[in-house]
Amino acid sequence: MKVLVTGGAGYIGSHTVAALLERGEQVVVYDHLETGHREAVPDSALFVEGDIRDVQKLEQTMKDYEVDAVIHFAAYSLVGESMQNPGKYYENNVYGTKCLLEAMVRQQVKRIVFSSTAAVYGEPVQIPIHEDDPIVPTNAYGETKLTMERMMRWYETAHGIHFISLRYFNAAGAHASGEIGEDHQPETHLIPLVLQTALGQRSHISIFGEDYPTEDGTCIRDYIHVSDLADAHILALDALRSQSRSGIYNLGNGQGFSVKQVIETAREVTGRDIPARMEDRRAGDPAVLVASSEKARNELGWKPSRTDLREVLASAWEWHVHHPQGYASPSLIRKGGESS
């Protein structure tokens, strides 16, 4: 039996694929490579280039490879873009997930681990955030992820498909092998932008807002190592296989760091000058987002092991130094000249 990983060529998807392969799972990656990278998928995984809105191709893939479980990453995930073009997010994220679930129904695949987000909460009512806190997304991206979660609930009721939804906080860092890491086009996330500045690829890092009600006035986020997120997917898969029950879990390391703390720690880790400039607030940024992951710890047995911000930044820095152009870096261009 094989695990189908939609979006397995993306950032969190590829780290989860690596973790699945490390524990001996047979993996089929399904990705349309619009934002993912073929180079991020190791040769030991099967690869199908396809769109999640292609029900027939999904069904055929599930049938051909005797898929027993799905891990679903494939989605657009830029908050700003989702506000400009919500239709794009409903089309790919919501309709695409409906297509995936239909294919699962037809092929009798009964387990799905789902890549959700802290963006479903919107402005938090308390810190740390718990899974049963109010859910009021403040952007279209978060709304589509919430809709996808809710859709799964109804497919469970109607068709017995169990799901585990994992609500990530701020994914960061890179795999210990140095072979895979973060490469978004365009890049909007704080840590890669800070490290690109350290490499001299950007003149400065912008700090979006210094007037938040936090100690140093900048936003606080819960940065969680991508390999710790990957481990949680394996535990979720195990829980679905052994217990056949659904659940929703936050994944964060429970500690918050401000934008200024991230930049200062990056200066220490890289030994480089990282010029920073104050700018206005970015629309829609809550002041503080920190997770309570007690539920994942208690019920899935998850224990993040790379929780030191220095360690997270050092692993990301290792990737950026060796792959300054991401997957287009010369060291990663595939034999035969194929690149992303």
CB of 64 to ligand UFG, least distance (A): 32
What letter would DSSP give residue 249?
A: E
Burial (CB count <10 Å: 0-12, 13-18, 19+), residue 94: middle
CA distance 38 to 53: 19
Establish whether 141 is a catalytic residue. yes
Residues that bind ligand UFG (CB under 6 A): 77, 79, 117-119, 141, 170, 188-190, 193, 205-208, 219, 221, 259, 282, 285, 289
Q: Output the residue with the shortest Cβ distance to ligand UFG.
A: 219
Query: Looking at 11, 141, 168, 327, which residue is catalytic?
Result: 141
CB of 192 to ligand UFG, least distance (A): 8
Only one residue has tokens 């989605």, namely 75
The angle subtended at Cα 75 by Cα 71 and Cα 78, nearest 5°, is 135
What letter would DSSP give residue 336?
A: T
Spatial contact of 266 and 204, defined as CB atoms under 8 Å apart: no
Nearer Cβ to ligand UFG (115/340) = 115
What is the enclosing helix (H) or strand (E) of 234? helix 226-243
Dihedral pair phi/psi, residue 288, rounded to 5°: -135, 130
Nearer Cβ to ligand UFG (61/117) = 117
CB of 164 to ligand UFG, least distance (A): 19
Nearer Cβ to ligand UFG (46/219) = 219
β-bridge mates for residue 168, sequence order:
117, 251
Residues with catalytic roles: 141
